[in-house]
Amino acid sequence: MRKPPRKRGPFASARREVSETGEPGRSSAQTASPSYRLAFEDVDFLLRQDLRPVRLQLELLKPELLQQQHGIKSTVAVFGSARIPSPERAQSVLGLAEEEARNRPKDRVAARRLAVARRMVANSRYYEEARRFARIVTGTCAGEHVCDFVVKTGGGPGIMEAANRGADDIGGKSIGLNIVLPMEQEPNSYITPDLCFRFHYFAIRKMHFLTRSKALVVFPGGFGTLDELFEAATLIQTGKIDPIPILLFGREYWERVINIDAMINEGMVALEDKDIFTFVETAEEAWNCIADFYRLPK
């Protein structure tokens, strides 16, 4: 019985043309020249300045097609600091900082590290809340054939790890949008491997954060978290996207970091712009806000 012909990939004919050009194993000055390479296999060519529009398009298209392939209908984006550790890790760091402070009682650097370590222990509760929130969302909205409200993070450590971990706790899918940085940045081990993406361009990564997102859940964080937060708030304020819940975990933190009332009093934003944000303190409260917004069963 004859075997059915093997399916060829989209570039099979092009590869065949290359392999069948000239005699097998024979090279020449012409075939060795970079100009002879197929355009889509020529990395040096693709990295030219002139090819930036093509790279932008590819970086937008690849995650989109793979999410379609996995049936991802909607997502919940979770932002927050990469520096907020798990409670276990926070306690370990605190122990080391306390020992250093005891051994160097007059060292200001050691005292500073101890103070930061104590704050990290306090803030580690947000790691647990992010993990619980992801478990709730994934358990409520995701099943074997259901891919609504899939948790999506920046793919790194801290709050991002916690959210991916929460989805993984109950066997659910989650997405990680990693970014190339000057320092080494690796995806956390809880992201669904087939939904672990890597970006060069922050702008394209931002687009993927908001594409499909039905809510933004924002934990305490630094510049990166603020950047994503105000990007989304501006798009809602200007009507570029439909309103979605933006939930800020930890009122005490956010009211110290962002003084929206001051901006309102100075006439920089409208009074109703404050309604873009909702403060929450627990995973359950956050999910209830999302469920109420979309009239979902709780």
The answer to whether the CB of 257 falls within 8 A of the CB of 251 is: no
Work out whether strand 142-143 and strand 146-147 pair parallel, antiparallel, or are unpaired: antiparallel
Instruction: Report the percentage of the chain scoring pLDDT > 70.
Output: 89
Contacts within 8 Å (CB) and 24+ apart, 254-259: 254/220, 254/279, 257/220, 257/226, 258/226
In the numeric block, the tokens 């439909």 are attached to 242
User: 75 pLDDT exceeds 70?
Assistant: yes
Predicted model pTM = 0.86
SS3 category, 112: helix
Tens of pLDDT along 209-219?
999 999 999 99
pLDDT-derived band at 68 (thresholds 50, 70, 90) equals very high
**Distance, CA of 174 to CA of 43 (rounded, Å):** 31
